[in-house]
Amino acid sequence: MIPYGTRVWLADNIALLSFFTLTGVLNERFIAGMEWDEVLVARLIGAPLMILTARPYGIWRDWVLLKSNALQSGRAKLFFFDTLALFSFQVPIYAMIIWLGGAAGATLVSGIIGAAIIMLICGRPYGLWLDTVRIWMGVSTVE
């Protein structure tokens, strides 16, 4: 049997990699206007960074949800704090990824704005996806 800590790490990584590889490609190519080769570089940079940040994000999200009491306060509060957690953690990281991938000037700004919008839209859907993957891996949603 896989140790609990390893399962949490795997769950957080599987969720983040699967969800944000897709949304990253869509943003970089169709919103930011990056060329396919730039998208590939950004994704190749992004994957290891996602692996490094997936579990810290899971810990951050759990902390935000616990401190806000969002889990016991209804859907609106949970939606807000799930979105806040994702936005505050991921947008700065994403900006660095596309900058390292070659985005500059208006393309960089467009990409960051696009990512910010995506994070605002995807905050709760990603939270639900993360919870689902954690359930599949047999780990609790909030530590």
Q: Is the pLDDT of residue 141 over 80?
A: no
State both tokens at 65.
């949800």
Q: Which of 12, 37, 7 is nearest to 90 (CA)?
A: 12
Q: What is the pTM of this model?
A: 0.81
Residue 5 pLDDT class (50, 70, 90 cuts): very high
Residues 6 or more apart from 23 whose CB is under 8 A from it?
118, 122
Helices (H), 1-143: 4-26, 36-68, 75-100, 105-136
Give the model confidence (pLDDT) of 88-127 as tens digits: 998 988 888 888 888 889 989 988 998 898 889 999 999 9
Q: Which of 4-8, 83-87, 102-106, 123-127 is predicted least confidently? A: 102-106
14 and 55 Cβ atoms separated by less than 8 Å: no
Taking the alpha carbons of 92, 97, 102, 107 in that order, is the dihedral positive or negative? negative
Burial degree of 15 (CB within 10 A; 0-12, 13-18, 19+): buried
Residue 140 pLDDT class (50, 70, 90 cuts): confident
Residue 143 pLDDT class (50, 70, 90 cuts): low
Q: Mean pLDDT over all residues of the chain?
A: 90
Q: Which of 142, 134, 119 is nearest to 11 (CA)?
A: 134
Residues 6 or more apart from 66 whose CB is under 8 A from it?
142
Q: How far is Cα 5 from Cα 118, in angstroms, rounded to an integer?
A: 29
